[in-house]
Chain A
Amino acid sequence: MKIVGTIRVSLKGLLANKLRTFFMMLGVLIGIAALTVIISVGQGAKAQVMQRMEKMSAFGAVMISPGGGMTRGLGSVEAVPATLTVEDAQAIKAEVSNVRDVAMAQVKQNVALKFEGQATTTSVWGVTPNYVKIRPSPVARGELFGPEEQAAAARVAVLGQETAAALFGDADPLDQTIRIENVPFKVIGVFKTMGATPGGGNLDDRIFIPHSTAARRLFNVTHLSQLVIQIATREQVAPAAERVKQFLRERHHIAPGMPDDFGVRIAEQMLGVLTGTSQTLTIFLSIVAALSLLVGGFIVMNIMLISVSERTKEIGLRRAVGARRRDILLQFILEAGAVTAAGGIVGVLLGIGGALAASRVMGWPAAISWPAIAGAVAFAGVVGLVFGVQPARRAAALHPVEALRA
């Protein structure tokens, strides 16, 4: 018997009972659509995290924050323990191997800013000039400060896009004088728009001033909010982080067994944590969707079993006119296969549509991952075959005489 003929017979069988075929399709369709949405959104979320991390470009660096435990974001200088100092930074740079450069940051949140009639508050970052090299922060206009300004403790400031907009509106901020806690600063640059950090911080609402200026003229403290240590190569980041940690414990005279008075973070680790979380969620949701697909498979099997028992007489007739067992088997397997394949394809299309719609409405990112979708469709096909075989075998096993008598 020609396979084309069997396919035609199967399709006719499906078209003969459209409602039943629709329900079988639906069972598979929902599972596949859910899988597609989950995989697409999961991939999108991962891509977004990567993108944000790349934008910060703190790869290849070790970040030290004052105080023990896992500190989130940057602590305001008046709030953090005074455990991290400029001397620590200089010592690390001088004595720990594979350290290329050490940048320092003193951050103060909710600092009052004024320009003529406009007032706002923002976070002020007193950073060494090398900070923006390790964590690139390109300027849209004007320029960054360099070693001269750092050495002279110059009163110059570079504004984030939103901060600039809050103070100046559409006017040009360059060379204007703003007041930070009533100390006059000259605006020398405006950063490019940078967006949010993976931790949720806003990179566009802040001011950079030289670290020396911040320490001496504004905050009057010597301790730091953060050290950013650039390591020679990315491969050496993890061992270097460990050496820095031991070095600081010795410098800070921390007895063995006592907790650190500083925190060590590696961007790569954060990336791992963040993508790991979304990956775990994606895997979990995928399992749920796969289970729903399994339920869809059972629906297919049940409906096919009903179909076989209702069509016993038809099967008897086909056997009488010369259909072999394998022709009947193939007919019913193809019916189940065609339904699940159609359900899979429609499910993928709906899933892609759903993922794109969700990303637009909810602001989620969505990335269509074709290999994953191909995998989902293949899974649907396997489900169709696995659950289609049993009813088909039952149909093929019918004795022609008894089937005709039904």
Chain B
Amino acid sequence: MITMEGLHKIYKMGDVEVPAVRGISLHIQKGEFVALTGPSGCGKSTLMNLIGCLDVPSGGSYLLDGQEVAGLDDDALSTIRNRKIGFVFQSFNLLPRATALENVELPLIYRDEGGIRAKAAAALTSVGLADRTHHRPAELSGGQQQRVAIARALVTDPAILLADEPTGNLDTKASEEVMALFHDLHRQGRTIVLVTHEPDIARHAERVIRLVDGRVVAEVLEAETPAMMETGGRP
């Protein structure tokens, strides 16, 4: 699903070049549940933006669902985001004045197809919020708001679900609900990439990719012990 070879991303701050991602090669299979983790400033946000086609790499190759993304123009990237990526954000990013249903409809507005309302309602049902379609975000709990956001990510039937600290603004109970939902989606065959700095959340994934200073320093499988992840080394 995702194949990265020698991916670089360099930001220019005035005359200074700041490398954020330095030569990452990565393979994520269809149906995998992967966590991207690492300390702050490790480049995981940059990598997530690259995976999500919100930004373009400075060098290297990125094949998403068989399509080369590096070098595409803004319009093409927009279309790929619309077709293949479902974003879930830490702060939910729901439109405050729109209902849950209208929020879920949003990505479909940027497509040329009908049946928007029905698809959005189905997506809300799939996250267990069929009875909250006409509520506004302020009328929903944090966990419910994040589930609306997940429904919005799912409504386009994307190739990958890309979640950036999805539990960062949630309490423990709501976090567990949301992670349970991710597990359900994983079981249904979704490819999920989860970005988090919390080891407890990362542990939910099948595979944990740990970044330090813009490089992958460890890939840990679920079967392996958490202790080994802490050592940062391969078995």
Contacts and interface: CB of A to CB of B under 8 A. Distances in A.
Interface in B85-119: 87, 89, 93, 95, 97-98, 102, 106-107, 109-112
A404 interface: yes
A180 B98 CA distance: 87
Interface stretch (B24-32, B48-56, B203-211, B219-227): B48-56
Contacts of A325: 74-75, 78
B111 A1 contact: yes
A403 B79 CA distance: 18
Given A314-B95, A401-B54, A322 B111 contact: yes
Interface string A40-60: 000000000000000000000
B93 A9 contact: no
A320 B54 contact: yes
Given A325-B74, A325-B75, A401 B49 contact: yes
Contact of B110 (A8, A12, A16, A327): A327
B83 interface: yes
Contacts of B87: 320-321
Interface string A307-345: 000000110111111111111000000000000000000
Given A1-B110, A1-B112, A313-B93, A322 B82 contact: yes
Given A1-B110, A1-B112, A401-B55, A319 B78 contact: yes
B190 interface: no
Nearest to B153: A321
Contact of A321 (B55, B98, B106, B112): B106
A404 B82 CA distance: 16
A72 interface: no
A9 B74 contact: no
A229 to B, nearest CB: 77
Contacts of B79: 322, 324
A279 B65 CA distance: 70
A6, A316, A317, A319: residue with the most chain B Cβ atoms closer than 10 Å: A317
A318 B52 CA distance: 14
Contacts of B152: 321
A371 interface: no
A5 B109 contact: yes
A81 interface: no
A2 interface: yes
A325 B78 CA distance: 8
Contact of B98 (A1, A6, A12, A400): A12
Nearest to B55: A401
A6 B106 CA distance: 11
B93 A322 contact: no
A323 B106 CA distance: 9
Contacts of A314: 95
B81 interface: yes
B81 A404 contact: no
Contacts of B95: 314, 317
Given A321-B81, A401-B54, A401-B55, A16 B109 contact: no
Contacts of A318: 106, 110
B158 to A, nearest CB: 10
A9 B111 CA distance: 13
B79, B87, B98, B110: residue with the most chain A Cβ atoms closer than 10 Å: B110
A322 B81 contact: yes
A319 to B, nearest CB: 7
Interface string B162-174: 0000000000000
Contacts of B97: 12, 16
A324 B89 contact: no
B110 A323 contact: yes
Interface of B: 49, 52, 54-55, 74-75, 78-79, 81-83, 87, 89, 93, 95, 97-98, 102, 106-107, 109-112, 152, 156
Interface of A: 1-2, 5-6, 8-9, 12, 16, 313-314, 316-327, 400-401, 404
24 contacts: A1-B110, A2-B112, A5-B110, A6-B109, A12-B98, A16-B97, A313-B93, A316-B93, A317-B93, A317-B95, A320-B52, A320-B54, A320-B93, A321-B87, A321-B107, A321-B110, A321-B152, A322-B78, A322-B83, A322-B107, A323-B78, A323-B82, A324-B110, A404-B89
Given A5-B110, A318-B110, 7 more contacts: A5-B109, A314-B95, A321-B106, A322-B81, A322-B107, A326-B75, A400-B55
